[in-house]
Chains A and B, each alone.
Chain A
Amino acid sequence: MEYLIGIQGPDFVLVAADNVAASSIIQMKHDYDKMFKLSEKILLLCVGEAGDTVQFAEYIQKNVQLYKMRNGYELSPTAAANFTRKNLADYLRSRTPYHVNLLLAGYDEAEGPGLFYMDYLSSLAKAPFAAHGYGAFLTLSILDRYYRPDLSRDDAVDLLKKCVEELSKRFILNLPSFTVRLIDKDGIHDMEKLTLSGEMSGFWFWF
């Protein structure tokens, strides 16, 4: 139902998520933002069971910010990803596991860009590209075919558009629009929303 995708380039990470907040067969919101800003250069994309997503993501978000307040510097994407995975693993064998699938994308001065794939069984993998949701079945092979490690930003956006077109063509569910963001050394940049008709809608606001 929900869809997340991330593509890492040589000095940036491009991420996109759909905008639908659904409750059984009804779309309750068309402009729901599934990305959570952990720090100036780290984004957490979170999908999964209804309440778990926001609860878990906000918990991680506040803890990462608390780390910054206590220690004066921000967690690196690798550290944040491992912290997230540790929390997922701790809750996994408790009585209230969190059923969430995550993508963590960030840029670090030392390590460069990083994209981390995590799922509800608390697995963690650093990947050049990744996707979550039923849409992943349709788009991972496109990413396999066309991805190159030295993608430019425009190439990455084109690759993303190819994936979204394939979804609109073959996916039975209606995902009309996608929020797109790019992370590089200058921070998080909001890009134009991708809509189903293929035109880019111009407006967007960050919370």
Chain B
Amino acid sequence: MALEDLCHFRDIFQEDITTERFSMPFELKEAGLSFTNNRNLLHFYIPEVEYLDESPIQFGQINLMQSASAISSQESPSAFPLPTNLPFTSSQTVPLPFPMAHGTTTLAFMFQGGVLAAADTRSSCSGLVACPASQKILPIHSHLVGTTSGTSADCMLWKRILARELRLYQLRHSRRLSTRGAAKLLSHMLHPFKGTELCVAATLCGWDGGELEDECHDHEESAGTTKTQKPDLGMTVGPSQGSSFTPQDSSRKARLSGPRLFYVCSDGTRLEGMLFSVGSGSPYAYSILDQGVRWGLTVEEATSVAREAVYRATHRDAYSGNFVDVFHITSKGWTRRKREDLKEEYYREKERQRLERKTQHDILRANTSSRHKPS
């Protein structure tokens, strides 16, 4: 698994020990979930307290006694009982190796021409610009693109994991998973990390429908995946269906195809909608988008509204800036517009305002001088 390979968990956890998910983790060397080789979709490694004590970067000096006391104090009810298994959320015992990045402006909306996604390109690290030309819109497959907001590393990793799982689904089931299914899959994958420092707020922009396979779906279902993969077809949980598509299914397919936009957040939110903006600059972007976005926009108009929204947000928000990326998703897939420097846009606007003021000034002067003409 990607996570374990990255963080070297194999030496900590033995493969054959399995426990209940909610057992007391006072003994070390207990695996959170059974790590099997069956590539079960939702058998992701769930971080236990011990893992979080042994940070892979080895920067913090957290001791196990502290974490044990944190667990024993979890019974005290509070107004908002957060999952208290993770010391990061309690008093800061582990200093983070470097400040995490959270600032961005990303937006996406649906219109008659498909889905448009736009984002700035500034990666900030609590006050300094770590990278002025990062990529916040990551293609996942030919018809699905995800905007990322939150911690850049987390977003990139989870997008790649999502891309891998979607590709596996496509190979296993001979069809692409719908955007709704991808959103649900991502949401369920992120659920075990709720309450940790993981911060991923993504909008998935995709176009469903396309290849319509007539093959049957009688694959062996790995347990726990039926919930996430089946609902978009409307099939019930039960023995595998061996029949090919009926006409009813194909009409349902036609209804289900088209542009789709989902917002998925690591705190568990999963929303379907027509317009989303995420990040520290999102309030500024929302105000431009709410005025300009309609269903009947042309592609050029939509692109210009998206650019304008990102530009205004970068103007006001310190954590957004530099360039703007625009992606357009249609039934044929995604296309990417050339990255544009917003500094130029700022100077163009200043120039426009200067010219406007100049022409107004000229008109005013012309009017007053004409009035003063001797009769």
Contacts and interface: CB of A to CB of B under 8 A. Distances in A.
B268 A54 contact: yes
Interface residues of B, number: 31
Contacts of A62: 227, 237
A52 interface: yes
A51 B269 contact: yes
A32 interface: yes
Interface string B263-297: 10101111101001100001100100000000000
B80 A121 contact: no
Interface stretch (A95-103, A129-137, A141-149): A95-103
Given A50-B265, A51-B187, A51-B191, A29 B81 contact: no
B98 interface: no
A66 interface: yes
A94 interface: yes
Interface string B170-211: 000000000000000001000100110000000000000000
24 contacts: A21-B269, A25-B283, A26-B277, A26-B283, A28-B269, A28-B273, A49-B268, A50-B267, A51-B187, A51-B267, A54-B268, A54-B269, A54-B270, A62-B237, A69-B236, A93-B75, A94-B22, A95-B71, A95-B84, A95-B85, A96-B85, A96-B194, A97-B83, A99-B80
Contacts of B237: 62, 66, 69
B374 interface: no
A97 B82 CA distance: 7
Given A32-B271, A51-B191, A99 B81 contact: yes
A52 B268 contact: yes
Given A28-B263, A49-B80, A95-B84, 16 more contacts: A21-B271, A25-B283, A26-B282, A28-B273, A50-B268, A50-B269, A51-B265, A51-B270, A54-B269, A62-B237, A69-B236, A94-B22, A95-B74, A95-B83, A96-B22, A120-B81
B77 interface: yes
A26 B83 contact: no
Nearest to B270: A54
Interface of B: 22, 71, 74-75, 77, 80-81, 83-85, 187, 191, 194-195, 227, 236-238, 263, 265, 267-271, 273, 276-277, 282-283, 286
A96 B48 CA distance: 12
A152 interface: no
Contacts of A55: 191, 268
A28 B268 contact: no
Nearest to A92: B81
A93 B237 CA distance: 30
Main SS of chain A's interface residues?
mixed
Contact of A97 (B81, B263, B269, B282): B81
Given A28-B276, A29-B273, A69-B236, A23 B265 contact: yes
Contacts of A121: 77
Interface in A19-62: 21, 23, 25-26, 28-29, 32, 49-52, 54-55, 62
A181 B257 CA distance: 29
Contacts of A69: 236-238
Nearest to B268: A51
A97 B80 CA distance: 10
Q: Which of B81, B263, B276 has the most CB of A within 10 A?
A: B81
A95 B263 contact: no
A120 to B, nearest CB: 8
Given A23-B265, A49-B80, A51-B194, A95 B271 contact: no
A26 B84 CA distance: 27
Contacts of A50: 265, 267-269
A95 B81 contact: no
A99 B282 CA distance: 27
Contacts of B71: 95
Interface string A53-91: 011000000100010010000000000000000000000
A49 B74 CA distance: 18
Contacts of A94: 22
8 nearest A-B pairs in the assembled complex, by CB-CB distance:
A51-B268, A94-B22, A95-B85, A50-B267, A50-B269, A96-B83, A50-B268, A97-B81
A95 B273 contact: no
B329 to A, nearest CB: 20
Contacts of B267: 49-51
A18 B237 CA distance: 32
A70 to B, nearest CB: 11
A54 B236 CA distance: 19
A50 B236 CA distance: 27
A71 to B, nearest CB: 15
B271 A28 contact: yes
Interface string A3-27: 0000000000000000001010110
A56 to B, nearest CB: 10
A2 B282 CA distance: 22
Nearest to A30: B273
B22 A95 contact: yes
Nearest to A121: B77
A28 B203 CA distance: 12
Nearest to A95: B85
